[in-house]
Structure 1
Amino acid sequence: MKNFVLLLVLLLSGTALLAQYQNIVIDDNGTPEEPSIMINPKNPDQLVAGSNIDNYYYSEDGGLTWTGGNLVSPGNGVWGDPCIIVDTAGSFYFFHLANPPGLAWIDRIVAQKFDFATYTWTDGTYTGLNGDKAQDKAWATVDSANNNIYVTWTQFDQYGSSNPNDSSIILFSKSDDAGETWSTPLRINKVAGNCIDSDNTVEGAVPAVGPDGEIFVAWAGPEGIVFDRSLDGGDTWLDDDIFISDQPGGWDYNIAGIYRANGLPITCCDVSNSPYRGTIYVNWTDHRNGDNDTDVWIAKSIDGGDTWSSPIRVNDDPPGKEQFFTWMTIDGANGNVYVVFYDRRNYNDSNTDVYIARSVDGGETFQNIKISESPFLPYNNVFFGDYTNITAYDGKVRPIWARLQDGNLSVLTAIIDIAVGEEELVADNARPFNMEQNYPNPFKESTTLAYKLNKPTTVTLSVHDMLGREVVMLLRNQYKPAGKYIEHFDASQYHLNDGVYYFVLHTGLGTQSQKMLLAN
């Protein structure tokens, strides 16, 4: 097993960060790309991630540190397209393509389950085996009401074939026994695509579950972006696909410096108790504003997919710059919509940042914020993967992306924790400073506190007990330029008893405090 245990390089004296959110390198060994990530809603400190071809990672501290290894599936092989999900029991699954020894390449879709008690994976089960036909680009989801697992993907008669007699279709399969067995795959699309793996191939089927157990899925192909649904657990589907939007320029397009790029759609549904419960969202990118002006879009439906809004532009920059490789998630605790994408708005070349966009009004408007600490400049002779990913629950947002700099690939996440009721992704610049809740909280031995200064000032940071007595001095009258800072507090060094304590941040701009609970 290879370990990627990444410790915070932040001393108690404090270190300024150049980005608004701390970036964590999950893996910079080998050629990791095409990442996936999932948070456990029942224990948000637990996350599992994956990347091509066979890399897995797990975190038990909310994404601050990671341990990883290489996935093995005897008899099935592991061949990329990672998709990580978590079921209602807290079990994580890694879906991937197959490369079975002595058999056809990518001939099935494989699911392996992770055990957090032993840190091991099962050998895996599979669905979709159909002779030598290729099974590609699978994605899965879980129905929280019954723990059913649903997976959709593209089947190619012969991958890459230009023979008009060969076609691509969208398949669906499910498991009602935690991935032990799978139903016979069912074709769900009306109009088939070709097998070239381009605009007229049907791809991008990402399933979502509705509040009443509906299954929703959209994909791209010769008809544009279309939609289907099942109201009976996947047994039957619509007779005809429902049109959502055209996709000018197609889903297969070029981005400078990127080996290959796509605008394939992502489907999500709000199952929270927010005012937007039941709203279905489909997210994609296209060239409707010009070949060199790739933009991020969302369409939504509030009637179960019968009708769809006009596309809503997610990126809020002026026209003329590129945004690409989008992914979307919905916070199941509050219905907030989060979209992650690469973004070149700040440059006149191929330098690339990572942004997320957040909507708190049902997808009507989006706030954009840069989350990468520095840009990267990719070049297109290195395979970069086909997607990013993002997961969120109760304000804890964890995007994941690949970075390609000087020919070296790495996979990163950002620590984004949004307080309840916070209307912006970051503190309003009109506020002189802002102190965030420590994380984790409660904590056993150590915790992390972040604060942002919008003006330079002196800072004193201390820890007080319930009676207001100072028990630890972390910083005393230190001058800090404007920026975001993170402090690591190791309570075990001070032999503190369990109980309630307070971080107190005193600056020349004012004083704030946050309550925390030490519970060994």
Structure 2
Amino acid sequence: MVHTQSRSTRLAILRAAVLGMTVLAAGATHAQTPISDVSSNPDGGDPSDPLAVTQCNGAPQLGVLYRNSESEPHLAVNPLNPENMIAGWHQDRWSSGGAQSLGAAYTTDGGVSWTQVVIPFTRCSGATRRSAGDYERGSDPWISFGPTGTAHYMALVTDKSVNENAMVTARSTDGGNTWSAPVAIARMPAQDPVLRSLFHDKNSLTADPFDERLVYATWTLFRTGITSLVFARSTNGGLTWSNPAPIATMGSGVGSSEKTIFRQGAQIVVLPDGTLINAFFRILLDDATGEVTNEQAILRSTDQGRHWTRLDTRVAPFESASAVDTERDIPVRDASGLPSIAVNPGTGRLYIAWQDRNANGAGLVGVFVASSNDGGLTWSAPVRVNQGTSDEVQAFLPIVAVNEQGTVGVLFYDFRNDVLGDAPLSTDVFLSLFTPELDFLGERPLTASSFDMRQMVITGTRGFFPGDYVGLARAGSDFVAAFTRSNNLGLPVVFPQNENGLFLDTHNRQDIVFVRETP
């Protein structure tokens, strides 16, 4: 159930029951519980009028606003109290990118109930003029707890109307109940004719699990013809941040006729000895042959981010792919090439999961995971994650985590229960389990019943949008997940969306739900 300041617990329980969301997932120790609720963003006095609903943006907007629809959740567990978790997500997604605000909710009972809170990351969530959240839209929520229980929430905020954006963070010292005012790590001011060509994207944040003072942020910086991975850190628990600096640029990181022309999806984990591992995907161009290849790769830092290895370490080649509704030729905007990384905090063993078109001869998308037992210097051969079905079933959106016993869990979506020719695109979420050495142990369904992907929000021409990622974490020996599912309202969306105007879709198309799984 979901608690909000404006709705009673009884109403939240009733709403969940009506939607059929509070159902036991097979093998789970808790119900599939809704985290998100209907929108708390202002509606301008007329929730059916797109101009009224978008008054809070502070500038004219274009696209379809999916009010009451949530996507792209992230989830973090308090190391001092695993019953305390925080989730973040896109609240009221736009077809043209980003959301009206970024949602947040916390639980203190292990996910049985959730309380929503508002953080002023955007104007529509209460940011004041000239504050760090004085922006039209938000995206890319990422949450991490430090070793003493302080939570950090990072986001990308944007002004679509003037091509301005920033990376911002907020912190909570009481388990997610209250939050500091957001602070900016980096800004791209629209007024600067040089910096107008910059765009910050695809951020992540990691609180050092061994030092409460250290927090790390990394993302991709785009400039005309140039992309760089950048890094910033805080040495006072997220109160202030260093100036962002490039740690990998175009043409670097290989040391041969190949050169890196693109990197994205950076995520940092910390090994038991304090080494930072930054995982991402990269695109390589071989100047000698003209061949272009995709690879999962990492960078390492042994001095808490002051310096990084000059050359990338290859993890595995892959062929970038996304899921697709083959009957209607509509793509799913999913992880594509983005990696997910996790570390066993006791042994330091690393795991990276990703999507790959090389799943089968038909070129369909599948999910793979690889491991390293030497600090990321060498990597195992990739292991197929979606082993519960044939490789003719598309699998996508992988997220990896490791529980305290060392069991590896990889969450993913797939279409195994879809029936060709029927109305819905039946979609389910599963958790594959592996030994530390990646021997397959089996899989668990996280959805008790399928949901229809065709009723989810659309992102322009990029397709259905559950998120570029979803949430998976360990809570002791359990795995806890926050993921997006449609509410099966019987209202398929139109593709592609008309973005040459302002349109409003008020249907509660999709929500974020929570599941706990005990291996």
- Cα distance in 1 for residues equivalent to 2:138 and 2:298: 28
Residue by residue over 1:499-520, the C-alpha shift from the partner in whole angstroms, topping out at 9 and shown as x without a partner, is xxxxxxxxxxxxxxxxxxxxxx
Q: Does the CA contact (< 8 Å) of 1:170 and 1:187 recur in 2? A: yes
Q: 1:138 aligns with which of 187, 197, 203?
A: 203
Q: Could you tell me which residue of structure 2 aligns to residue 461 of structure 1?
A: none
Q: Does the CA contact (< 8 Å) of 1:2 and 1:69 recur in 2? A: no
- Cα distance in 1 for residues equivalent to 2:323 and 2:261: 12
Q: Does the CA contact (< 8 Å) of 1:339 and 1:356 recur in 2? A: yes
Q: Does the CA contact (< 8 Å) of 2:151 and 2:176 recur in 1? A: no
Q: Could you tell me which residue of structure 2 aligns to residue 120 of structure 1?
A: 178
Unaligned residue ranges in structure 1 (runs of 5+): 159-165, 194-198, 419-424, 426-520
- Cα distance in 2 for residues equivalent to 1:295 and 1:127: 36
Q: Does the CA contact (< 8 Å) of 2:323 and 2:395 recur in 1? A: no
> 1:326 Cα shift?
1.0
Q: Does the CA contact (< 8 Å) of 2:342 and 2:402 recur in 1? A: yes
| Cα 1:230/1:117, change in 2 over 3 Å | closer
> 1:190 Cα shift?
4.7
Q: 1:284 aligns with which of 334, 337, 354?
A: 354
- Cα distance in 1 for residues equivalent to 2:512 and 2:140: 15
1:143 is aligned with what amino acid? D
2:281 is aligned with what amino acid? A
State the identity %.
25
Which structure: larger Rg? 1
> 1:28 Cα shift?
4.3
Q: 1:358 aligns with which of 412, 433, 458?
A: 433
Q: Does the CA contact (< 8 Å) of 1:49 and 1:84 recur in 2? A: yes
Unaligned residue ranges in structure 2 (runs of 5+): 39-67, 91-98, 122-126, 189-194, 253-259, 285-294, 460-464, 492-508
- Cα distance in 2 for residues equivalent to 1:51 and 1:16: 22
> 1:334 Cα shift?
2.6
Q: Does the CA contact (< 8 Å) of 1:3 and 1:68 recur in 2? A: no
Q: 1:76 aligns with which of 110, 132, 137?
A: 132
Structure number with greater CO (CA < 8 Å, separation at least 6) is 2
Give the superposed CA RMSD.
Answer: 2.7
- Cα distance in 1 for residues equivalent to 2:186 and 2:8: 33
Q: 2:383 aligns with which of 306, 309, 312?
A: 312
> 1:80 Cα shift?
1.6
Q: Could you tell me which residue of structure 1 aligns to residue 291 of structure 2?
A: none
Q: Does the CA contact (< 8 Å) of 2:145 and 2:151 recur in 1? A: yes
1:123 is aligned with what amino acid? A
Q: Does the CA contact (< 8 Å) of 1:173 and 1:186 recur in 2? A: yes
Q: Does the CA contact (< 8 Å) of 1:337 and 1:362 recur in 2? A: no
2:77 is aligned with what amino acid? I
> 1:129 Cα shift?
2.8
- Cα distance in 1 for residues equivalent to 2:206 and 2:405: 19
Q: Could you tell me which residue of structure 2 aligns to residue 515 of structure 1?
A: none
Q: Could you tell me which residue of structure 2 aligns to residue 150 of structure 1?
A: 216
Residue by residue over 1:151-181, the C-alpha shift from the partner in whole angstroms, topping out at 9 and shown as x without a partner, is 11111115xxxxxxx2221111111111011
- Cα distance in 1 for residues equivalent to 2:169 and 2:457: 31
Q: How do 1:140-219 residues align onto structure 2 when only pairs under 5 Å count?
A: 140-147=205-212, 148-157=214-223, 166-191=225-250, 201-219=262-280
Q: Could you tell me which residue of structure 2 aligns to residue 325 of structure 1?
A: 397
Q: Does the CA contact (< 8 Å) of 2:78 and 2:175 recur in 1? A: no
- Cα distance in 2 for residues equivalent to 1:20 and 1:185: 44
Q: Does the CA contact (< 8 Å) of 1:24 and 1:415 recur in 2? A: no
Q: Does the CA contact (< 8 Å) of 1:46 and 1:61 recur in 2? A: yes
3-state SS of paired residue (1:402): strand
3-state SS of paired residue (1:121): coil
3-state SS of paired residue (2:203): strand
Q: Could you tell me which residue of structure 2 aligns to residue 86 of structure 1?
A: 145
Q: Could you tell me which residue of structure 1 aligns to residue 187 of structure 2?
A: 129
Q: Could you tell me which residue of structure 1 aligns to residue 89 of structure 2?
A: 51
Verify: 1:397 aligned to 2:479, yes or no: yes
Q: 1:371 aligns with which of 439, 443, 446?
A: 446
Residue by residue over 1:86-122, the C-alpha shift from the partner in whole angstroms, topping out at 9 and shown as x without a partner, is 111212121101236997432x211111243792211
- Cα distance in 2 for residues equivalent to 1:140 and 1:263: 19
| Cα 1:381/1:72, change in 2 over 3 Å | closer
Bigger proportion of residues as helix = 2
- Cα distance in 1 for residues equivalent to 2:163 and 2:268: 26
- Cα distance in 2 for residues equivalent to 1:360 and 1:4: 43
2:314 is aligned with what amino acid? F
- Cα distance in 2 for residues equivalent to 1:289 and 1:118: 40
Q: Could you tell me which residue of structure 2 aligns to residue 334 of structure 1?
A: 405
- Cα distance in 2 for residues equivalent to 1:220 and 1:227: 8
- Cα distance in 1 for residues equivalent to 2:349 and 2:457: 40
| Cα 1:101/1:182, change in 2 over 3 Å | farther
| Cα 1:180/1:314, change in 2 over 3 Å | same
2:142 is aligned with what amino acid? C
1:391 is aligned with what amino acid? A
3-state SS of paired residue (1:288): helix
Q: How do 1:415-454 residues align onto structure 2 when only pairs under 5 Å count?
A: 415-416=516-517, 418=518, 425=519
- Cα distance in 2 for residues equivalent to 1:270 and 1:145: 14
- Cα distance in 2 for residues equivalent to 1:24 and 1:32: 15
Q: Could you tell me which residue of structure 2 aligns to residue 27 of structure 1?
A: 36
| Cα 1:172/1:255, change in 2 over 3 Å | farther
Verify: 1:60 aligned to 2:125, yes or no: no
3-state SS of paired residue (1:246): strand
Q: Count residues with an aligned counterpart.
A: 395
2:200 is aligned with what amino acid? Q
Q: Could you tell me which residue of structure 2 aligns to residue 410 of structure 1?
A: 511
Q: Could you tell me which residue of structure 1 aligns to residue 292 of structure 2?
A: none
> 1:365 Cα shift?
2.5
| Cα 1:360/1:235, change in 2 over 3 Å | same
> 1:140 Cα shift?
1.2
| Cα 1:255/1:157, change in 2 over 3 Å | farther
